[in-house]
Amino acid sequence: MRLRLAEGTAPVLVVLVALLVGLAIAGPAYDSVEGYLALLKRAAPLMILAIGQYFVIVSGGFDLSVGALVTAGVVIAARMIDGQESATAWVILLVLAFGLLVGLVNGLIATKLLVPSFIVTLGMLLVLDGAVFLWTGGAPRGALSEGFRQFGRGSVDVPVLGEVPYSVLILLVILVAAALFMRSGTGRALVATGDNDQAVSLSGGRVDRLRLLAFVLSGVLAAVAAILLGGFAGVSAQVGEGLEFRAITAVVLGGVLLGGGRGSVVAATAGALSLEALFTLLNLLGVAGALESAVQGVIIIAAVAYAALGPRTRFRTSRQPAPTQ
């Protein structure tokens, strides 16, 4: 068996390793496994969101609704559980089902009504924001149970590694499943849809179904992220604010082409971890938190510029020697 990195994975891995080395130098906590597990635990929700966002972006769309969906998920969970341990299980299912439903609606409107996904999901963001506000009157009510919070807060004893947070285990399962999925026929067709949907359609692929699937996966993964974030930090009506842009930044940082057709899911996830590691590093170095959004903006622009510049330069360097021969 040969481990082969998908195209575009290498640069983000270099960035990630550099950041992790930086963390090891800057923070005394990062000289042990626990420090990195804590970082992974904190990054897990964003990494899961990035996986969902990857599916949508690689197939040629955008999902701007995930941040609002996370907020809605946490607020709904708190209201429904209202501190009762016994309600935990069905509320988790309810939150996941809600994510699935939102993804389904996004996908159906984008594919059947032919509204650009940017607009559909922007609309969904506003609808969810408004609905949450209307329902809560601006302040979330109820409380999450200890059982619900375990997924984002608790950990389990694993041999060799020690205490591993549940959220890290959940992330690993999702990441492995996503990587396997992208190597399957459906996964390849999804990328091809982003590259050239007419070609996929002509060769018998069902473009609408593939795109719908991407939105549904994004919605469900946003619900998972909501469960982890609610568990990590508790009830808040601000929990999902700006997460959609963080997820998009992460995916772009992972070298995934905006507009679809190129990029790997592992790289997108590594992009999310890099982003979180970067913010942690900036904080450890004492750089103002206000810089976070500026840094995010620079990353988006620089990564897209790099992607636009990259292949052509490579193209030229491989061609240029030819005439001189």
List interacting residues with another protein (CB under 8 A): 27-29, 35, 38, 42, 133, 137-143, 153, 229, 232-236, 238-239, 241, 279-280, 283-284, 286-291, 294-295, 297-298, 301-302, 305-306, 308-309, 312
Least spacing, CB of residue 291 vs another protein, in Å: 6
Residue closer to another protein (CB basis): 108 or 284: 284
The distance of closest approach from Cβ of residue 306 to another protein in the complex, given in angstroms and rounded to an integer, is 7
Report how far residue 158's alpha carbon sits from residue 227's, in angstroms, rounded to the nearest whole number: 22
In angstroms, what CA-CA distances link 219 with 55, 119, 200, 224?
A: 11, 16, 24, 9
Smallest gap from residue 202 Cβ to another protein (A): 29
Query: Which is nearer to another protein, 105 or 282 (by Cβ)?
Result: 282
Return the percent helix, strand and coil in the chain, to nearest 5. 75, 0, 20
Helix, coil or strand: residue 239: coil
Q: Residue for token digits 């959220």?
A: 167
Q: Residue 77: which of 141, 150, 165, 171 has the closest Cα?
A: 141
Q: How many CA atoms lie within 13 A of 217 on its CB side?
A: 26
Work out the angle between the directed axes of helices 66-81 and 207-233 (0-180°, nearest 10): 50
Which residue's CB is nearer to another protein, number 178 or number 277? 277
As measured in angstroms, the least distance from the Cβ of 256 to another protein is 17
Task: In angstroms, give the least distance from the CB of 236 to another protein.
Answer: 4
- Distances from the Cα of 263 to the Cαs of 51, 135, 195, 199, 260, in angstroms? 12, 39, 11, 19, 8
What's the CA gap between 125 and 123, in Å, rounded? 5
Task: Give the nearest distance from C-beta 76 to another protein in angstroms.
Answer: 15
Nearer to another protein, 137 or 204 (CB): 137
E strands, the chain, are 155-158, 162-165
Nearer to another protein, 73 or 187 (CB): 73
User: Which residue lies nearer to another protein by CB, 24 or 101?
Assistant: 24
Report the 10 Å Cβ neighbour count for 287.
Answer: 13
**C-beta of residue 230 within 8 angstroms of C-beta of residue 239:** yes
Write down the least CB distance from residue 36 to another protein, Å: 12
Measured from the CB of residue 7, what is the shortest distance to another protein in angstroms? 19
* C-alpha neighbours within 13 Å on the C-beta side of residue 59: 34
Shorter beta-carbon distance to another protein: residue 158 or 287: 287
What pairing do the DSSP bridges indicate for beta strands 155-158 and 162-165? antiparallel
Q: Closer to another protein by CB, 102 or 239: give it.
A: 239
CA separation, residue 259 to residues 31, 46, 237 (Å): 39, 21, 31
Six-digit token pair at 165?
């947070």
CB of 176 to another protein, least distance (A): 25
Nearer to another protein, 116 or 130 (CB): 130
